[in-house]
Amino acid sequence: MRIFSIIISALIVLLVVTFTVLNTTVVPVDLLIPEKPIMVNFSLAVMLAFGLGALLGMLAASLVILKLKRTNNRLEKKLLKALPNIDMKATLPPVNRDV
């Protein structure tokens, strides 16, 4: 499994380097500020946009995970509070002793 992850990592690095070398065109990036746009390499602009999207995606996912963990903790507390009140003999099926 370790070899597989090394090969995948090397392929990703190779793709990023190839993309950077082949896309050296300078493009304007407008940051919604009234001043003039910033001029950056196309490959840098794409990688920054990809990185920002990944960070925002991880932030959104972590918020959902935190909400689910909070709900899980609340339900566990309710369960622990309710366990002493449950009659286990009434919930278990009868045991067949004839066998």
The model's pTM is: 0.62
Write the secondary structure of the chain as one string of H (helix), E (strand) and C (coil). Answer: CHHHHHHHHHHHHHHHHHHHHHCCCEEEECCCCCCCCEEEEHHHHHHHHHHHHHHHHHHHHHHHHHHHHHHHHHHHHHHHHHHHHCCHHHHCCCCCCCC
The per-residue pLDDT string of the chain (99 residues; one tens digit each, 9 = 90 and over) reads 899 999 999 999 999 899 889 888 999 988 887 788 889 999 989 989 999 999 999 999 999 999 999 999 999 999 888 887 776 666 667 777 765
Domain range summary for the chain, segments of one domain joined by +? 2-84
What pLDDT sits at residue 52? 94
